[in-house]
Structure 1
Amino acid sequence: MPGVEHLARWDTESLRWVLQAWLGSRGLILLVGIAVGITTGRGFEDLVANWDVQHFLGVARDGYLADPKTMAFFPGWPLLLRGVALLGVPPVVAGVALSCLFSLVAAAALVRMGGPWAAIGWLFAPVAVFTAVPYTESAFCAAAFWAWQRASADRWGSAALLTALACTTRVSGLFLVGALGVMVLTWPRLRVAERVRRAAWLLLPVAVLAGYVVYLWTLTGSWTAWTEAQAAGWARGFHWPWESALNTWPVIRGDYVDHPDWTWVFRGEAVSMLVGVVVTGWCLSRRMWAEASWVGVQVLAFSMSYWWFSVNRAVLLWFPLWLMFAHLVSRRPKHPVAQALRHTVIVGWLLLSAVAMLIWTWLFTNGLWAS
């Protein structure tokens, strides 16, 4: 497990590159939104408040009882939107502004963990549109990435507080707590008492997760209200991995002719599942046990749903992927041919990722299915 001495340091050049990447990626997303608005006549809310955004806005406005399915969404983000709305700022506008701000905060954490290329890769991820609209990805990543960075620096008090904040926004916080627990267990040269002290900090985010379960119980009388909402709204009941794969195959094959926009998005889900397996393997090969558990457990969870669903967006949460990307990009071969190949791969990847980002933004802003 890396200590403070292994973490990337701030430097002016890195920060300048990341700030430019942040402005460039947000700018490209904005340009696509403007183009869609001009060509379709869609207004601002029609462009940025699609799919889950409507659920977040509904919870912020009416609470959970108006639509029990919304209990699948954790309260942190809707509460933040509601709080900003009390100041007179439209919640959709606030959501876009906060998502863009939090995406910069998350990118800064990636700089500390893996250098500027980790942040640049993440900012230009194919599904980066979800870090610029009122979704929870930016807020969660900002808290979770910094929580991991603080824990890696052996600053467990601040790591626990940040993890608790992450747990208010997504169920992914549960996996974060588990992965940090693995970090404690695998940290070298620690006495038992020191491990217990570090692990005790994780009781804070666990309390946040438990608090939400208790709150839903007070509303519904059911201890499983969250899982029931997931099953009712998104068919996320338990299935064996082979059943999930078989359920996903027809939509990948294009059998859902009444939803032609689903086919390529679900093909993307399959690619994302493969990416998760590769990243987990890479982490294991480098004995990054905690990072492997962070990605691997999520891949396993996605493989046990009805079908492979929302994995594309989860890629944004997998910071080890972007650390792996930065590691591969930072390798500098000595042979001229290898150097040319490296540059070609970097430029090609960035171009393909940027094009995919534009396409995904077009899908989302048109109100089409985008994972």
Structure 2
Amino acid sequence: MIPFNKPFIIGKELKYIEEAVLSGKISGDGMFTKKCQQFFEEKYHFPKVLLTTSCTDALEMAAILCNIKEGDEVIVPSYTFVSSANAFALRGAKIIFVDSCTNNPNIDAEKIEEHITEKTKVIVPVHYAGVACDMEKIMALAKKYNLFVVEDAAQAIDSYYTFSDGTKKALGAIGHFAAFSFHETKNIIAGEGGMLVINDSKFFERAEVIREKGTNRSAFFRGEVNKYGWVDLGSSFLPSEIISAFLYAQLENLDIIQAKRIEIWQRYSNAFKSLEEKKCIALPNIPSFADNNAHMFYIICKNYEERTNLIQYLKAKDIHPVFHYLSLNKSDYYLATNPKIDIPNSDHFTDNLLRLPFYYELSKDDQDKIIQLILTFYLPC
């Protein structure tokens, strides 16, 4: 069986886990947590980074920092993972779904403004497949209407956005906040784990408090206060040193991992160009302002039936591709309290997008097998 995903060890993951245990501290905010945070702040020029137990937790922290309350409205793409919406719904927000672009699963920045009301408080651009949303347009809207921008950068590590003036910034460094994931399906993994990026210094102190169960415990350990207590809302968002130790070993090999993933992505892309030229399938669209961090490779089938048949065909050959998100506006939870809305592009990707096996240890032979089978499937096209 060629799986869809496979976790991997590339360097000193086990050695660092042992070091963490032997250090006598495996709870949060130890040596490896600090090393990881420093790595991200230095490499991507993030002003402040806090590791979390998941990207979901980072989004929930962002919702608290944005002071989301009952009745606030938060703009989210329909084609995304439920956490992008759930983090704000948990604080009482009404989720306003916006459609994807016609040729890209990302939120259509041209359609956002028509959904902004006096109740709108946050825009949540989700950088699907690590490919940037149109952040220049989104940030202009945020400035015009005095809104927060929370980048859901779960898939976007080591990816960049180029502004019209030529300025280039890492995804996650553009909005007010950003959330990343180190789930085992991501480029850089730790099993679970995530991080919150805070790009405005006025939120640094409160973010630390929220992450430490609503206490000023971090300030206490730095000697800034002589005792700590409950000062704000919060929860236990710190990852253990076991997660951080594994993650740091991966970060030491970031360039190697990324080079291999880009090689895999490019091999898929080159192999299927002929199918795209014949309009048998569509391939990922990378806008001119976006980088490709090779998070995933997908194809877009002509219709739901074709995708179903292709999945069954590949599974019969011991290959495990997967489809991705179901449009959140069609979810049972949303429809229980909201009327049906028409979001056609999101539905298009829901029905037709197929993700191919993609992981660091995917061999050339296995990838060639996948490619050849898909080419054979589309031979009559």
What is the TM-score when the length of structure 1 is the normalising length?
0.29
What is the TM-score when the length of structure 2 is the normalising length?
0.28
Greater helix fraction, Structure 1 or Structure 2: 1
Greater strand fraction, Structure 1 or Structure 2: 2
